[in-house]
Amino acid sequence: MPFAREQLELQQRRERLRLRSTELRATLGERARVLEPPLALADQVRSGVAWLRAHPEWPLGALAVLVVLRPRRALRWGARVWWGWRLWRRAQRLLRAAVEPR
């Protein structure tokens, strides 16, 4: 008799755990809906970057038109981009040095 009682208790516990798991999955699904818009935007950005990599002639053509039509502005923006790129690389080196074990 004790064996049958333990089996019944185990079955009841399993069923309670299954129900709890179902509730938790439903709650997680509801809370995850908040992430849908930012993740959709990230997907669009990723698709755009992939398209630009597949078609580099478009951004290069736009840059050429900008250089021809507004050379001063193009140089100014080029200097800013170069400065930003150097700053980014320096920050990466500093972060890498801070994170690496000594």
Helix (H), strand (E) counts: the chain = 4, 0
Task: Give me 76's structure tokens.
Answer: 């100014």
pLDDT at 66: 87
Instruction: State the Cα–Cα distance between residues 44 and 53, nearest whole angstrom.
Output: 14
Please write the tens of the pLDDT for every residue from 29-55: 999 999 999 999 999 999 999 999 999
Which helix (H) or strand (E) segment is 100 a member of?
A: none
Q: Which residue ranges make up each domain of the chain?
A: 1-55, 56-102
- The answer on pLDDT for 102 being more than 80 is no
Task: Give me 51's structure tokens.
Answer: 């398209």
- The answer on pLDDT for 101 being more than 80 is no
